[in-house]
Amino acid sequence: MPTLEKICEDIDGDPRSAHREFRLWLTSYPSDVFPASILQNGIKMTREAKKGLQSNLQDTYQVDPISDPTWFNSASDPKKFRKLIFGLAFFHAVI
């Protein structure tokens, strides 16, 4: 966690050091060791997971922006993007 905090501080200190389209997505359970500075400098999203894999996946695909066909199909390589979204949704559904 200290290494992650240092990386985020370095990017935050000079935003030009990171690619302009760089985004960092983190998934975490509540934890005392998670650096507060990362939480304070980021956008937080919370979701109450539904019971069961299928209902959890369906719920993920019904949330904005994933449910917006324009956004969903706007990727430069839609096939790879759909696989990435499914992988993330499946990961969250299982975890």
* Domain boundaries defined on the chain: 1-46, 48-95
Q: How many Å apart are CA 28 and CA 59, to the nearest integer?
A: 19
Q: What is the pLDDT of residue 72?
A: 77
Q: What is the pLDDT of residue 41?
A: 78
CA distances from 40 to 5, 34, 65 (A): 12, 11, 23
Q: How far apart are the first and last CA of the chain?
A: 20
Q: Are the C-beta atoms of 92 and 60 separated by less than 8 Å? A: yes
pLDDT in tens, 14-73: 777 778 788 878 877 778 888 888 888 777 777 676 788 998 889 888 888 888 888 878
Q: Are the C-beta atoms of 38 and 5 separated by less than 8 Å? A: yes
Q: How many Å apart are CA 80 and CA 94, to the nearest integer?
A: 21
pTM to 2 decimals? 0.48
